[in-house]
Amino acid sequence: MLFDLIPKDGTPIGNVTLLQRLREGAVTKLKFDIAEEDYWEVRNDLIAQGKIEKGRGRGGSVYRVEAVEVKAKATKRIKESDLYLMVRQYIETLWVKDNEISQFVLEQTASQGKRKTGGRWTRPDFALIALKSFLYIPSGKVLELITFEVKPENDYRIEGVFETAAHSRFSNKSYLVIYTPDGNPATEDFQRVKRECERFGLGLVTFTDGADPSTYETVQEAERRIPDPADVNGFISSQISRANQTRILGMVK
């Protein structure tokens, strides 16, 4: 009876409330009252069996363990690589238009195996090499390297900010892109990520539905930096495919 009175969805229930409902049920169904010490004995036995766990709250509480386990299994863990195709489509369609970019090369640079690129934090998930034209700039053309680091909802810790910041050595702009299916969380972890992005001059983009470009939100725009041309050239030489290197050369001619 006691176990049946504990919510099946894993919601905690207070000991005082549970004892009261148990007594009411015992009187109604079994026609006798239950002593408080009997409640604690049965409750502790259920904890020992691993069926329930102690929770928080005034007077203490308990909740079903099996419900929590079922809920965890039902929630599919989204991997970072699962987001790449959708983020790529967003960059290629909406992001470049919003930033007035018409000539560009976009490459997924996340997985390069044992290829020597200078270390893991030198590999953004995506690199966008864009060419912009300006009437009063000598030669009229400016090449920009923009990087994107993608993180799923369960892995956007502060390390992701530092990883994105490391790309600033060779990029003009760097963005951290986070999948937040329930909207931007009002958690201290997310607020800290936002503050650190601002401190490093990084862009922060969130999205709730990878396949829907309208759900992408630029929470913070990236500051433009001027990296050493040798670092930009070295990145393109070491991390961009031969085919795209040829396309870049064609753009800058």
Q: Please state the domain extents for the chain.
A: 2-73, 80-252
C-alpha distances (whole Å) from 87 to each of 126, 151, 195 are: 9, 11, 23
pLDDT for res 72 = 47
Query: What gap in Å lies between CA 104 and CA 143, rounded to an integer?
Result: 9
Between 127 and 112, residue with greater pLDDT: 127
Q: What is the pTM of this model?
A: 0.68
Query: What gap in Å lies between CA 221 and CA 205, rounded to an integer?
Result: 8
Put the strands of the sheet holding 216-220 in their side by side order. Answer: 103-108, 126-133, 141-151, 173-179, 203-207, 216-220
CATH class of 2-73: mainly alpha
pLDDT for res 119 = 55
Tell me if the domain spanning 80-252 has CATH number 3.40.1350: yes
pLDDT for res 73 = 47
